[in-house]
Amino acid sequence: MIFKEMMKTDDIVTDCNDHAALLFEILPPVEGNQEKRLRSHQKYISQLLRETNVNALNLPEIQNESKKGEKGKRRKPYKERVSPRKYTRSLSASFNTNFVINHVCVKHDPAQLEHWLLETYDQFDIRHIILVGAESSSERYDGLSVCEGNKLVKNYLNSGKRKHQNETIAPTNFTIGNICIPTRRRPDYDEPERMLDKFDAGADFFTSQIITEAETPVSLMKDFSSLLEQNQIENPPAIFWSFTPISSKKDVDFLRWLGVYIPERTEKYILGSENPASVSLEAAQRVCEKLLDFNSQLPVPLPMGFNISVMGLRNFENGIRLAKLLEMEGVES
């Protein structure tokens, strides 16, 4: 049964040129719990699509990661989850909308990644992929870097060629995204430089790590826009800024475990209130307003959207409320 019909677009990024487009993350369920979680997701996604104009559902690929932040702790031990493209197939039976899936490319050898991409396009009907790199730059992998993965798609598959087999194919029409991390500022290879290299390699858009304050993303926007101006780039990639509702200390601990920067004053302001979830949504709205205002002053303004991430079903309705707030800000900008 289709709960809601939506117009599927070939390129979700084009909407960012007119208004702030909206992605909403759906976490694939733990293996063995798919049917139960699917029923819960159907209920909430149906509500989401009724009440907002979400452009796409965004499914992350969960790895067994190590702790990224100095503070915080994991909520539960790691368990294997259903793959994003497999769960997308289940969701697409109920929802005729756009889907974005995340995929770690560095763990594939080049021929395997090429096969996976073509299989994803032909058999799963997925057109929007976020290629993700290594968890740590200190680790060595035999697979492709994010830039190499971007080039494989844009220079070969989208052009009707295979790189690792001598044959032509019907051209794919992938839209490619990568991750940006506003706090990853380094003197040797800074985040704006990384983003420019990924854009030159074929990235159409970026989704950010979750943000809880405006200072670090504003700094990244300023420096990235300056690089774009220096390189005479007039049609930059879109950035989807990621926000999440925070309703408890458990949420703060897990976000910090993931490496999300949460200033102490922000934690106290949210958790010290009578209604942390509502206060966190208001705080996110204010950050959003600052980003939109600052973007209008840049030498090369950036197409912008928002990505709503929720931690657990208990925060799903708060996520819908946040989506509605940010959608309103994006339309009015």
Tell me if residue 42 falls in helix, strand or coil: helix
- Which residues sit opposite 22 in a β-bridge? 306
The total domain count for the chain is: 1
Q: Which residues contact 314 (CB under 8 A, 6 or more apart)?
A: 247
Question: What percentage of the chain's residues is helix, strand, coil (to nearest 5)?
Answer: 45, 15, 40
Tell me if residue 67 falls in helix, strand or coil: coil
Task: Tally Cβ neighbours within 10 Å of residue 287.
Answer: 20
pLDDT digits (tens, 9 = 90+) for 222-279: 999 999 999 999 999 999 999 999 999 999 999 999 999 999 999 999 999 999 999 9
Q: How confident is the model at residue 20 (pLDDT cuts 50, 70, 90)?
A: confident
pLDDT score of 61: 94
Rounded mean pLDDT, 149-167: 95
pTM here? 0.93
H-only helix segments in 23-179? 34-51, 84-92, 110-124, 146-151
Separation between Cα atoms, residue 270 and residue 281, nearest integer Å:
10
Looking up tokens 């259903």 gives 82
One-letter amino acid identity for 162? R
Separation between Cα atoms, residue 47 and residue 41, nearest integer Å:
10
Domain with residue 320: its CATH number is: 3.20.20.220
User: What domain range includes position 65?
Assistant: 4-332
- Of 285, 189, 279, nearest to 243 (Cα)? 285
What is the enclosing helix (H) or strand (E) of 256? helix 249-257
Rounded mean pLDDT, 175-197: 96
Separation between Cα atoms, residue 16 and residue 239, nearest integer Å:
9
pLDDT digits (tens, 9 = 90+) for 262-271: 999 999 999 9
pLDDT digits (tens, 9 = 90+) for 88-111: 999 999 999 999 999 999 988 999
80 with 61: CB under 8 angstroms?
no
